[in-house]
Amino acid sequence: MKGMNDIFSDEILTRHYVNSTAANVFRRYGFSEVQTPILEEIDIFIRSAGKGSDIVTKEMYTFNNDDGKIICARPEGTAGVIRALIQNKLISNETESKVFYIGSMFRKERPQRGRFREFCQIGAEFVGSDTSTVDIEFLAMIYDWLSNLPLKSSVKLLINDLGEPEERKKYLQSFKKQFRPVIDEFCDFCKKRFNKNTLRLLDCKNITCKRMTQFAPNILDFLNSKSIKRFNEVQEGLKNLKIPFKVSKTLVRGLDYYTKTVFEFVSESGLGSQNAIAGGGRYDGLSHALGGPDVPAIGMAAGLERILLLLEKEKLNLDSNTPDLAIIYADEPGRKKAFELLFKLRNRGLYIDFEHKIKSVKSQMRRANRLKTKEVLIIGTREIENDEVQIKSMNSGQIRLEKLSSI
């Protein structure tokens, strides 16, 4: 299917490397892994992302369930994770929940470089506290993870603050007042978004739209003193940790549930205009919107495929699945004995290769070379009678003798 790809060994190794690096860093910050179903009721995304969001209006794969409910393949991870925490009573005003997830998401959009209809998302959610130190720690964790990857392309952190709902409402009124008279000069997508998902105009990559929105009101001018103080604390905390960042007044997130701190980690080269690697922000009202307790939270999601694009040119020295030993037979008695040894050595945790088709020693050696086998053991009638075999290192060419009975 278009936009849904088959993945093989080499890329899988790189995926495991990126995912395990994330998991190791996240666990150091006290996060535990969670897995949720790929299919969810569409209602949780309408309530979380917003009825007018691009995800809900045009990007979801949906179908009718036998009970009449509309089911969809999850387009993002946060809503499903919060739903799971609520249903399993893992959210309360007294406790904190720190979880991360790695899994496939699905969006019915035009496939392009680093953007597919089935894609892998690495995400994390910190639920239960709204202090500025949580935001700082959360951003530091993502920075820590990305810094542990060999990304030659410079990764930059952008931050902004969307304020409390009432502050955001006033900003939207001012924004609409400024751009409603000239909305016809925007692209077709922005015209459709103007009333339903207004802030996405700031996200548009169209040159004309970007030129227009550079004169948009600054949302920071609409924050009260308490919100400004909090945002300043976040910036000060990042400076103290020597995490480079830039405040971007046009940075918004595409989902309705975001409040206060929002952020993106972007690549300065290698991805073109779609350069966001990871993004997220605070969503203090989402749990309540999904029927849970009214607790604050912050979350993020990163696109694995975009990170893989940045790693394409790196010569990662990953441990590929190459045989520890190939057992090469010289004749029929050697072949029978080799087949016995095959299982004995595998039970010791070794990757042992064996040629099932009857081939010459020369042909078997070529196979061992092709598979980048570390060592070969050659066995035939003479080796069996003498209870002695040669084991040859394929790298150095050195040969050592071993008692067959001791193997």
pLDDT of amino acid 29: 97
Mean pLDDT over residues 192-218, rounded?
86
Q: Which of 250, 278, 280 is nearest to 265 (CA)?
A: 278
pLDDT of amino acid 254: 60
pLDDT of amino acid 270: 60
pLDDT of amino acid 30: 96
256 pLDDT higher than 70:
no
> Which of 6 and 319 is assigned the larger pLDDT?
6
pLDDT of amino acid 364: 97
pLDDT band for 316, please (50, 70, 90 cuts): confident
pLDDT band for 352, please (50, 70, 90 cuts): very high
19 pLDDT higher than 70:
yes
Q: pTM, whole model, 2 decimals? A: 0.85
320 pLDDT higher than 80:
no
Measured CA to CA, the distance from residue 102 to residue 244 in angstroms comes to 26
Q: Which of 265, 261, 258, 251 is nearest to 231 (CA)?
A: 261
| pLDDT digit string, tens, across residues 162-187 | 999 899 889 989 999 999 999 999 99
Q: Which of 372, 371, 379 is nearest to 340 (CA)?
A: 379
pLDDT of amino acid 151: 81
| pLDDT digit string, tens, across residues 105-132 | 999 877 777 678 899 999 999 999 999 9
Q: Which of 64, 134, 70, 117 is nearest to 284 (CA)?
A: 134
Mean pLDDT over residues 257-273, rounded?
82
406 pLDDT higher than 80:
yes
Tell me the one-letter amino acid at 321: N
> Which of 10 and 338 is assigned the larger pLDDT?
338
Q: Where are the alpha helices (DSSP H) in 218-285?
A: 225-240
What percentage of residues in the chain have a pLDDT greater than 70?
Answer: 94
Tell me the one-letter amino acid at 117: R
Dihedral sign for Cα 31, 34, 38, 42, please: negative
273 pLDDT higher than 70:
no
pLDDT of amino acid 321: 80
- The mean predicted confidence, pLDDT, of the chain is 90
Domains assigned to the chain: 9-163+223-311 (3.30.930.10), 325-406 (3.40.50.800)
378 pLDDT higher than 80:
yes
| pLDDT digit string, tens, across residues 125-161 | 999 999 999 999 999 999 999 999 988 667 899 999 9
pLDDT band for 52, please (50, 70, 90 cuts): low
Burial of 246 (C-beta count, 10 Å sphere; 0-12/13-18/19+)? exposed
Q: What is the DSSP string of 120-184?
A: EEEEEEEES---HHHHHHHHHHHHHHHHTS---S-EEEEEEE---HHHHHHHHHHHHHHHGGGGG
- Residue 229: count of CB within 10 angstroms of its CB: 11
Mean pLDDT over residues 42-60, rounded?
76
> Which of 92 and 274 is assigned the larger pLDDT?
92
pLDDT of amino acid 232: 97
Mean pLDDT over residues 53-75, rounded?
83
Quick check: 205 and 112 in contact, CB under 8 A?
no
